[in-house]
Amino acid sequence: MHSAIRDFIALAEREAAAHADSADRVLAIAPAMRRLAREGVRVLSPDQMRSDPAHYNRNAIHICPQGEISLFALVWLPGQWTPVHDHGSWGVVGVLQGHLQERAYMPRDGEIKANDGIVLRRGGVVLLDPGSVSTFVPNPDHIHMTGVPEDGEICVSLHLYGRNMDSFHIYDVGAGTRKLIDVPHQKVGTDIDA
Ligand SMILES: [Fe+2]
């Protein structure tokens, strides 16, 4: 693992432990993610930035054994998108290469308390360039879809989450439903701790 990645993980673990409020955690970690993102993909090994022609690829870099944080390198080929989803966690995203889009969705009725009858309204879009950082906190849900347009270029981004991100809700906007899914990821090398 590159020393810059290792140092970032150590900082993130310290700051996550030092602050009880998710908003304070992302405030404390975002500047470090920006410094890391400005280093570009040179901080990643080839096996940490594998792509998959079938879907965007999640390369796990670090999964905290206690479950407090996890760090992934996501590789997006042109036209690859997540479904509409949430995370049930705070998160900090930094772009190393290419350009990433985040499209927001807002629940019409405030906090979502059931898996059906959900009315989502489309929100705005954030365009993230290399070195850009985006953060979110679950107040109560942060619902979005992320990806790269068909006419875009390959994008590599780092995603830090406040838990082991092995499941999340995906939303069917038209049906007004959501379901919890298990999310596979590409385990990388021997640096994975869980
Ligand atoms: Fe997301």
Task: Find residue 182's DSSP bridge partners.
Answer: 167
Quote the ligand 1 centre to 93 CA distance (angstroms): 9
Give the per-residue pLDDT at 182.
87
Quote the ligand 1 centre to 101 CA distance (angstroms): 11
Quote the ligand 1 centre to 10 CA distance (angstroms): 23
10-residue mean pLDDT series, the chain (194 residues): 96 96 97 98 96 94 87 97 93 98 94 94 97 92 94 97 88 96 62 33
Give the per-residue pLDDT at 187.
54
- Termini Cα distance of the chain: 15
Quote the ligand 1 centre to 160 CA distance (angstroms): 10
Counting Cα atoms < 13 Å in the Cβ hemisphere of 97 gives 16
What's the full length of the chain, in residues?
194
Give the per-residue pLDDT at 192.
35
Give the per-residue pLDDT at 186.
52
Give the per-residue pLDDT at 189.
42
Show the 3-state SS of the chain. CCHHHHHHHHHHHHHHHHCCCHHHHHHHHHHHHHHHHCCHHHHCCHHHCCCCCCCCEEEEEEECCCCCCEEEEEEECCCCECCCECCCCCEEEEEEECCEEEEEEEECCCCCCCCCCCCEEEEEEEEECCCCEEEECCCCCCEEEEECCCCCCCEEEEEEECCCCCEEEEEECCCCEEEEEECCCEECCCCCCC
> Which domains occur in the chain, in start order?
3-187 (2.60.120.10)
Residue 96 contacts residue 157 (beta carbons within 8 Å): yes
Q: DSSP class of residue 30?
A: H
Quote the ligand 1 centre to 186 CA distance (angstroms): 17
Quote the ligand 1 centre to 175 CA distance (angstroms): 20
